[in-house]
Amino acid sequence: MLSSPNPWADDLERLELIVRETEEVMRGLLDAQNAIGRVTAEGTAAGGLMSVASDGAGRLTRVEFDPRVMRLSPDELGAEALKAIRQAQDTAVLKAREIAERARELAERFPAALDERFVRQRIDQVAREIE
């Protein structure tokens, strides 16, 4: 690990490592957030006559009906629309969850904080060196 004869150099090296690792994790989390914002998924129904798109939050972003879909009864039209919407939303949410899970795993790599014991040891060491 750190092997300098000067503990202050080791402390500085350790802090720099913590900062670098934290920056790396933060960049990864920001990338994940941006990736979730770009998620889209499509759902189709009525034999391809109906198409919808959804974003990563499950909000519809596009709805398209081929005019031939109007041949369906109102009940069939509603059922097919719901089928396409659910397909798009479920797929988009699944994609977003996969990205979020990878981000969660990345967040587990946050470096450990300097604990009280470490800080206490350094304070005691400084006090001894001052005496």
pLDDT of residue 6: 65
Residue 8: predicted pLDDT? 65
CA distance 27 to 41: 25
Whole-structure pTM value: 0.69
What's the rounded mean pLDDT across residues 15-43? 91
What percent of the chain has pLDDT above 90?
A: 54
Q: What is the DSSP secondary structure assignment for residue 5, as one 8-state letter?
A: S
What pLDDT score does 108 carry? Answer: 83
- pLDDT tens digits, 71-87: 999 999 999 999 999 99
User: Which domains does the chain carry?
Assistant: 21-129 (3.30.1310.10)
Write down the residue that tokens 């369906």 correspond to: 72
The DSSP secondary structure of 17-71, one letter per residue, reads HHHHHHHHHHHHHHHHHHHHHT-EEEEEEGGGTEEEEEETTS-EEEEEE-GGGGG
